[in-house]
Structure 1
Amino acid sequence: MVDAHRPALEIQGLTKRFGEKVAVNELQLVVPTGSFYGLVGPNGAGKTTTLSMATGLMRPDSGEIRIHGVNVWESLVEAKRLVGVLSDGVRLFDRLTGAQLVTYAGLLSGMTRDVVAERTADLLALLDLDTAGGTLVVDYSAGMTKKIALACALVHAPSLLVLDEPFESVDPVSSANIRDILDGFVRSGGTVIVSSHAMDLVQRMCDHVAIIAQGRVLAAGTTEEVRAGSTLEDRFVDLVGGRRHGEGPAWLRTSSDSAS
């Protein structure tokens, strides 16, 4: 059992460099247990790098990461038992069927075949993939692929889910079904961290949010606190900058006239 009074994820002084580029710069972040936490930022802000280090996929240059009090890089195996990960852009073993892929993920977690078989069947039914369980993942749609990857992240019953762009290229029906599953996971005491570019979705879905840019946290707290009376998108643009005001060049505004 995890301690509900201890943060699900605690990051202190996290830093990662790639050559001369500082991707993550002394980043600090605390994710409360039982929260639905959104992580937003522009491309290249360091979100994916941060999540990769937080879940044991990439070693940081410095800093400390704890999942429910477990130091990730001192007790990697123990920490990984606590977290389920859906990484954006990571290739799945797509020459396996959906059922085989989830089974493989479960066996890697050290569960018995009987338990894995039961959980795989439950997850395929929950994600509306039971009829596609015998189909090769390479033949799945984008939405089905996201859902089978989510099943792989859930099969070992983690207490923390870390999802990088889980709704990208996903149709509205699959997106709504995934959100319902994640809401249920949080209501049952789990914690979800979602990295996404969809500001409106994060605002509606998440009770906490952090805005990251240039490898640092610019604002973090409850969604209402971070919004500060504005929309999350407007608050994001105010903090990150880069918005260009104007209607564009004259030729673009009169293009309909020139075409006639």
Structure 2
Amino acid sequence: MTDTALSLQGLHKSFGAKQAVSDLTLDVRAGSMFGLVGPNGAGKTTTLSMATGLLRPDAGRAFVLGSDVWADPAAAKARMGVLPDGVRLFDRLSGRELLRYVGLLRSVDPGLLETRSAELLEALGLTEDADNLVVDYSAGMTKKIGLACALVHAPRLLLLDEPLEAVDPVSGEAIRSILRSYVAGGGTVVLSSHVMELVESMCDTVAVVAQGRVLALGSLDEVRAGESLQRRFISLVGGKELDQEALTWLRSS
């Protein structure tokens, strides 16, 4: 088995005159928790979309555990679970029905699927709402059922875009525990987030992306370079300080 779970090689993507991703190359070690961070519009979601086969690159290649995402998409996609940001689900199904539907699409044995679904629903605090329609779920519950769908076929690579967005602290801690256990069992997580504290507490490897390019890549300590990840991130992407004379009308008179 390859030591690299995800390999992105020279990815390019433009939308009209806007270049979203430019010559982006990185490797994600199998068995790691990899954080992908960057400002809004940095190209993170575009990069993940190309890595998962949702968006065709203008140039470059992506490999999942040795399988070319675009030359052999069936083999690559069978090895990965994906939670896109703003995921659209078949929300006229109940949570339980949706998990069953996704599991059968993923060729999970029906008997095994029932056991896995029950365990995932319990672990994510969705058992009481399992027979309610997903359209009636809150944003956080929708995120959790999306994660369950990404996990139900026991993939070896998880690609998660803002997995804790809109999730309450209790559920967030449950998700953290699930992901840590998954990595401890040999799985690999690629996690995109704007929340530096989340990445710093969860990830062992980090890439900082801005304007579609990798600005820093390495272990968490290498990327932080003796600072907090927040400070290092701002110094890399060029944070803007507020003019002290701006917005003076917001001050109390």
Please state which band the TM-score falls in when normalised by the shorter chain.
over 0.9
Q: Are 1:94 and 2:91 matched, yes or no? A: yes
CA distance in 1, matches of 2:44, 2:141: 24
TM-score of the two chains, using structure 1 as the length reference: 0.93
1:126 to 104, 111, 123: 123
Once the two structures are overlaid, the 10-residue window that deviates more, 30-39 or 112-121, is 112-121
Q: How far has the Cα of 1:177 moved from its partner?
A: 1.0
Q: How far has the Cα of 1:173 moved from its partner?
A: 1.1
TM-score of the two chains, using structure 2 as the length reference: 0.96
Partner SS, residue 15 of structure 1: strand
Identify the residue that residue 203 of structure 2 maps to in structure 1. 206
CA distance in 2, matches of 1:136, 1:229: 48
CA contact (8 A) 1:6 1:69 kept: no
Identify the residue that residue 148 of structure 1 maps to in structure 2. 145
Q: How far has the Cα of 1:252 moved from its partner?
A: 4.3
Partner SS, residue 85 of structure 2: coil
CA contact (8 A) 2:87 2:146 kept: no
CA contact (8 A) 1:11 1:29 kept: yes
CA distance in 2, matches of 1:207, 1:28: 19
Partner SS, residue 155 of structure 2: coil
Q: 1:248 to 1:97 in 2, by over 3 A?
A: farther
Q: Are 1:17 and 2:14 matched, yes or no? A: yes
Identify the residue that residue 66 of structure 1 maps to in structure 2. 63
Q: Are 1:78 and 2:75 matched, yes or no? A: yes
| One-letter amino acid matched to 1:89 | G
Deviations 1:179-223 (A, max 9, x none): 111011011110001100001111111111100001110001111
Deviations 1:130-173 (A, max 9, x none): 22110111121222111110100001100000000111111111
CA distance in 1, matches of 2:248, 2:120: 54
Percent of pairs identical after alignment?
A: 57
Partner SS, residue 135 of structure 2: helix
Q: How far has the Cα of 1:229 moved from its partner?
A: 0.3
2:132 to 135, 148, 152: 135
The root-mean-square deviation of aligned C-alpha atoms, in Å, is 1.4
CA distance in 2, matches of 1:171, 1:199: 17
